[in-house]
């Protein structure tokens, strides 16, 4: 009889711990918006990211990957974000025909990918 009571207690404890972890995931989300532009004069890719966070030291955009024509050309790793809307600039050469793909990844959950063609 004691084993049954212990088993029930463990099930309840594990269930409670799981339930307490759910709000943590509910607050996490992928970036809301990723805007991309290219400055031909400075040969720079400008990536403006919208990712609201109540705790930017823990819940932030941890990585931005830039691909040009399917090949990774830039990778930025970050440990926090400055505000809910922020901009990163990447030096890179591009032509009007190049297809640029940018993926911003949240430190807790999700990512957002956009494609951009500088000449369009």
Domains in the chain: boundaries: 28-117
Say what the pTM is.
0.75
Nearest to 53 by CA among 8, 110, 106: 106
Would you tell me which CATH number, out of the four given (3.40.309.10, 2.60.40.730, 2.40.360.20, 3.40.30.10), belongs to the domain 28-117?
2.60.40.730
Structure tokens, 108: 């807790």
**Which two structure tokens, joined as six digits, stand for 16?**
């409670």
pLDDT, tens digit only, all 120 positions of the chain: 566 777 676 667 666 555 445 454 445 677 889 999 999 999 999 999 999 988 888 889 999 999 999 999 999 999 989 889 999 999 999 999 999 999 999 998 889 999 999 776
């Amino acid at each position: 009889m004691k084993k049954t009571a212990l088993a029930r207690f463990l099930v309840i404890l594990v269930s409670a711990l799981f339930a307490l972890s759910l709000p943590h995931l509910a607050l996490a989300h992928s970036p809301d918006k990723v805007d991309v532009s290219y400055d031909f004069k400075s040969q720079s890719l400008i990536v403006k990211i919208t990712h609201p966070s109540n705790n930017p030291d823990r819940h932030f955009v941890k990585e931005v990957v830039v691909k040009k024509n399917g090949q990774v050309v830039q990778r930025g790793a970050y440990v926090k974000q400055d505000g809910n809307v922020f901009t990163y600039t990447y030096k890179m050469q591009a032509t009007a025909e190049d297809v640029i793909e940018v993926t911003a990844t949240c430190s807790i959950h999700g990512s957002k990918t956009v494609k951009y063609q500088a000449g369009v």
